[in-house]
Amino acid sequence: MISPEVILQVLASGIVLGGIYAIASLGLGLSWGILHVINFAHGEWILISMYASYWLVILLGVDPLMLIPINILLGALVGVLTQRFLVETTRKGGALASILSTFGLSLTIIGSSQLLWKSYARTMPNRYINMVVKMGVVRVSGAHFVSFLISIGVITAIYIFFKRTLVGKAILASSEIFGDPEVALLMGVDVRRIRLITMALAGISTGVAGNLIATFYYIHPYIGTLWCILAFVVVVLAGLGSLKGIIIAGILVGILESVGSLLIGTAYSYILVFLAFILTLYIRPRGLMGRR
């Protein structure tokens, strides 16, 4: 059963899936790594974009990829609202307060989507889901492949944003891992506004992720939890404050999941992922490429 072709196939689908995991985790990595805000509503941020894309595709009949600009705006809005009204008001309580308050937000979003759209598992009709991309001996789902390309593009754009723009540099300077918030404040950086922009950025990448995931994964009020856990796995494996680490960890999780699907079946493939996660925390609590 396990021939070289099978191994290549497992690797290829793992890598493609890993790119998607990377963008699904990027928002969490940004808010956690830069702001020390542990966003337990991350999965529900993804859920909002998934439902938004689903309904726009159903109602307007457009191509899902045309919706990326809308999801960027929506994601930024969600990020700004969460930061302004929830995270900023509970800042005094530290990381645990941010966990509990965003946990409350996640319950509210799950409940609202259950109330509005019932607990059906929905799939978005689109032309990418039945496409197959052939590359030599391996085949990859078209929806996965397109999502992979776009997520690599978005991650590169965010990388360039941090390296080249003044705002990006200001964000890094006012974070605790790369700089020092107090020094940044003394240098005239409006730290409060920077936090808002960082959260908006986290929202944007999460919004794009939701849009992409909706093209191939089913949409259900509780599915955010799964993506939230996966994103946490990726961010923790990567280590805080490493964009490269997120890509590597995403691909690692993708490969683990496709190996798991091969060995113990699709529904249980996450067992392997979580076991690897707990093991990594045991061996390297700071993640693969973490700073400090």
Partner 1 sequence: MLSRVLKSKPLINIVKFAASLILLSIPFKLLKLHFILYLMTLILLYAYLGQCWNILYGYAGQLSFGHAAFLGIGAYVSSILLIRFGISPWIGMIVGGAICALFAFFMSFPLLKLRGAYFALATLGMAEVVRLIVLRLDFITGGGRGLLLPVVTSPWLLLFGDIWHWFLTALGMNLALLYISYRIEGSKLGMAFRAIKQDEEASSSVGVDVFKYKMIALLLSASLTGIGGTFYAQLVGYIRPDIILTTERSDEIVVVAVIGGIGTLWGPMLGSAILLSIRQLIYSLLGGTYMGVHLIVYGILIMIIIIFAPEGLYPTIKKRLMMEFGEAKSRGTPS
Q: List residues binding partner 1 (CB under 8 A).
A: 32, 38, 86, 89-90, 93, 95-97, 99-101, 103-115, 118-119, 221-222, 225, 229, 232-233, 236, 264, 267-268, 270-271, 274-275, 277-279, 281-282, 285
Looking at beta carbons only, is 130 or 222 nearer to partner 1? 222
Looking at beta carbons only, is 69 or 111 nearer to partner 1? 111
Distance CA 231, CA 249 (A): 10
Closest CA to 7 of 138, 136, 134: 138
Looking at beta carbons only, is 42 or 144 nearer to partner 1? 42
Residue type, 250: G
Looking at beta carbons only, is 108 or 156 nearer to partner 1? 108
CB-based contacts of 121, cutoff 8 Å, min separation 6 = 218, 219, 220
Q: Is 169 exposed, middle or buried (0-12, 13-18, 19+ CB in 10 A)?
A: middle
Looking at beta carbons only, is 200 or 233 nearer to partner 1? 233
Rg (the chain; Cα; Å)? 19
CA atoms within 13 A on the CB side of 254: 25
Distance CA 70, CA 85 (A): 22
Minimum CB–partner distance for residue 128 and partner 1 (Å): 29
Minimum CB–partner distance for residue 156 and partner 1 (Å): 28
DSSP state of 89: T
Minimum CB–partner distance for residue 47 and partner 1 (Å): 13
Minimum CB–partner distance for residue 220 and partner 1 (Å): 12
Minimum CB–partner distance for residue 218 and partner 1 (Å): 16
